[in-house]
Amino acid sequence: MKLYKKGAETSYTLGVFPTIELLKNKPEIVKRVVVSSKIEENRGYPLIKELCQKHHITIDIHDPTIKKLSPKANCYAIGIFEIFHEDLEEGNHVVLVNPMDMGNMGTIMRTMLGFNITNLAIVTPAVDIYDPKVVRASMGAIFSLHVKYYDRFEDYYQEYDHEMYPFMLKGAKNIHQVKPTGAYSLIFGNESSGLDDSFLHYGQSVFIPHSNRIDSLNLSQSLGIGLYHFTSAEFENKKVLR
């Protein structure tokens, strides 16, 4: 097994939890699971064995592969999977225009899943979501999302009749004054430059108010606040998780 390179036909998870999420949500794309000889120490191993047995997936104990692929010493499991491509589904979407940070991308995926938004459109150029660093940062959330790349935002815009909400410093409306009435798309720009002024003409641009003690919020913070606001009705009566 070689280190992942963009454009490869396969990638891999790094760690027990992302591997479990892969096996639970997309077992059909798993080629095999490689585990450390010390995996018995990890409480997640019985579930990995159960899921692999259920889906007839081979488990190999091979420390050299773990050492070669994982930058961290405490990695006990790696799930090797085929690169997958899916269309977006009906419902609400997040759109990221030219995101470039792997850690941010993984965090965004996990945050989206936490707020039950499972459709992600990405406008290129952009980070490679199949890079193991992104998969790890997402804690396996990537395997529960529908993700599609677009060459231009206009291609996405013409495909979906959604309420469009570009998040911009120059946004015309305070986010607290906006409530969706139908399916919507929350649009966010690059980590460093945000969205350019052309996005003022797509739907209803919004801004997130904050104190003047900072210049701006970063991408993952803005997205988390946006998702919290737009999904508040769904979670208003949610009980505390125990």
Provide the domain count of the chain: 2
What CATH number corresponds to the domain at position 14?
Answer: 3.30.1330.30
User: For residue 73, what are the domain limits?
Assistant: 10-82
Q: Which of 60, 82, 104 corresponds to the end of one domain?
A: 82
What CATH number corresponds to the domain at position 118?
Answer: 3.40.1280.10
For all residues of the chain together, what is the average pLDDT?
A: 94
Q: Are residues 36 and 119 in the same domain?
A: no
110-156 tens-digit pLDDT: 999 999 999 999 999 999 999 999 999 999 999 999 999 999 999 99
Q: What percent of the chain lies above the pLDDT cut of 70?
A: 99
Q: What is the mean pLDDT of residues 22-34?
A: 98
Confidence band of 28 (pLDDT split at 50, 70, 90): very high
Q: What is the mean pLDDT of residues 13-40?
A: 97
Q: What is the pTM of this model?
A: 0.93
d(CA 52, CA 121): 31
Q: What is the mean pLDDT of residues 72-92?
A: 94
Q: At 62, which amino acid appears? A: H
Q: How buried is 120 (Cβ within 10 angstroms: 0-12 exposed, 13-18 middle, 19+ buried)?
A: buried
Q: Are residues 117 and 212 in the same domain?
A: yes
d(CA 163, CA 125): 24
Q: Is residue 2 part of a domain?
A: no
DSSP string, 168-230: -TT-SEEGGG---SS-EEEEE-BTTTB--GGGGGSS--EE----TTSS---HHHHHHHHHHHH
H-run or E-run covering 123: strand 119-123
Q: Are residues 106 and 181 in the same domain?
A: yes
The token duo for 32 is 């095999």
Q: What is the mean pLDDT of residues 201-216?
A: 90
85-112 tens-digit pLDDT: 989 999 999 999 999 999 999 999 999 9
Q: Is residue 108 part of a domain?
A: yes
Q: Are residues 113 and 30 in the same domain?
A: no
Q: What percent of the chain lies above the pLDDT cut of 90?
A: 86
pLDDT at 242 exceeding the cut of 60: no
- The per-residue pLDDT for 239 is 74
Q: Are residues 22 and 127 in the same domain?
A: no
H-run or E-run covering 146: strand 146-150
- For residue 220, what are the contacts with CB-CB under 8 A and spacing of at least 6? 104, 107, 108, 111
Q: Where are the alpha helices (DSSP H) in 31-144?
A: 45-54, 63-69, 102-114, 132-137
- C-beta separation of 170 from 197 below 8 A: yes
Q: Is residue 60 part of a domain?
A: yes
Q: Which of 63, 82, 101 corresponds to the end of one domain?
A: 82
Q: Which of 82, 115, 137 corresponds to the end of one domain?
A: 82
- The per-residue pLDDT for 71 is 83
Q: Are residues 56 and 100 in the same domain?
A: no
Q: How buried is 73 (Cβ within 10 angstroms: 0-12 exposed, 13-18 middle, 19+ buried)?
A: exposed
